A = this chain, B = another copy of it.
Amino acid sequence: MIRAEIIAIGSELLTPFRTDTNSLYLTRSLEENGIKVVAKTVIGDEIDHLVAAFANAFERADVIICSGGLGPTIDDLTRDALCEFLNIPMHLDPEILHQIEERFKFFGRKMPETNRKQAMVPEGATSLPNHHGSAPGIYLEARGKQIFLLPGPPNELDPMWQQYALPLLRKERPYQRKIFRIAMLPESQVDEMLKPVTDSLREVQYTILAAPTEIEVHLLAPESSADELISACAEVRSILGNWIYAEDLESLEAAVGKLLKQLRRKVAIAESCTGGLLAERITNVSGSSNYFEYGLVPYANEAKIKLLNVPAELMDAHGAVSEPVARAMAEGIRKIANADYGLSITGIAGPDGGSAEKPVGTVFIGLADAEQTVVKEYHFLGTRQRIRFSSTQAALNLLRMKLLA
């Protein structure tokens, strides 16, 4: 097994305001090439810490990938630290210097003296071109390890990795990962349902990742266990059936969109407590204009009456958060938009507005089609954001199950 360590360098990554996300991109790419990430380290711009980080990484990894610290300022010490650790010199590469100067010229500026530093290359290293910034990357083989120094900004790192670093990477026969995504079932239930499969796995590794109203089941297998993986996937599919909304990383809104497109159906939305989040998720899918045309956010009671023709008496009798109002909203928006489906959400997202009878987290979701209207009541826990998100999950999944019925 080839083992990798990712080192993110930059003091801003040690503040409460930024976190390293480059490693997600890199880990995905490494995994596709059969390489396992065994550690991630985030350190600031201190030479001692950088040298120590290289020392650790050389102990436990075969591939070492650094991001950041390649800039022109005195704080940018990644190169220096690597050379100090390996005890090798650096030299100025006139070709790289020329490229950096040209880049500044192109933007109508003179290269500041400090940028000369970016043309310094450790002995034996190869420079990796940067088409989106001034800092070139560096590739070096030393002590049997592969070392990549990449720039910090993702829009520079990603293309450099793809175009120049990846072709140099020693690859293994890849692991294969299968992902199943499930909405609206609790983790413990999915885990229990899958026990007959997971208990009998040999080489395939099973992981379950849970977020509110969202479960991912991962099966990871070495190439040599492809058959076991295939049969495990078949069993997972037969147990979870329609609960699986996507394999791989497709979102719930994309899965719903795909079905609407296939069936040539249109949905219109009237959402209150989610404040536009359901429409936002649906329209985040490119091509959603094929099946989504009308969205309303009737946040005030008056707006529900005026925009959706919800009878004022209904609101008075049952309150805006109620089964009859969810029903009237779903039917109202379906009619106005002349859509196949009308989908409605009304609820209490909190933190205020709850009562003993209708606590925060009470949400009614309505779904109207030509034949009938279904309304479901939910009780979600957590923060305002979480209740809003859970409500949109429930609405999307309700529509999805209807489309599959």
Contact = CB atoms under 8 A, between A and B. Distances in A.
A38 interface: yes
A276 B294 contact: no
| Total copies of this chain within the assembly | 2
A27 interface: yes
A302 interface: yes
A384 interface: yes
A184 to B, nearest CB: 19
Interface stretch (A114-122, A138-146, A230-238, A279-287): A279-287
Main secondary structure of the interface of A (DSSP, over half): mixed
B38 A49 contact: yes
Question: Which of A21, A59, A278, A295 is the most central at the interface, judged by chain B CB atoms within 10 Å of its CB?
Answer: A295
B303 A294 contact: yes
B282 A295 contact: no
A20 B19 contact: yes
B38 A15 contact: no
Interface stretch (A40-48, A87-95, A96-104, A394-402): A40-48
A289 interface: yes
Given A283-B299, A300-B294, A17 B60 contact: no
B296 A300 contact: no
Contacts of A52: 56, 59-60
Interface string A251-291: 00000000000000000010000111111101110111100
B46 A38 contact: yes
B43 A38 contact: yes
Contacts of A12: 207, 209
Interface in A216-233: 216, 218
Nearest to A4: B14
13 contacts: A14-B38, A15-B27, A15-B218, A16-B31, A19-B20, A19-B23, A41-B42, A269-B297, A275-B284, A276-B276, A276-B283, A286-B384, A295-B297
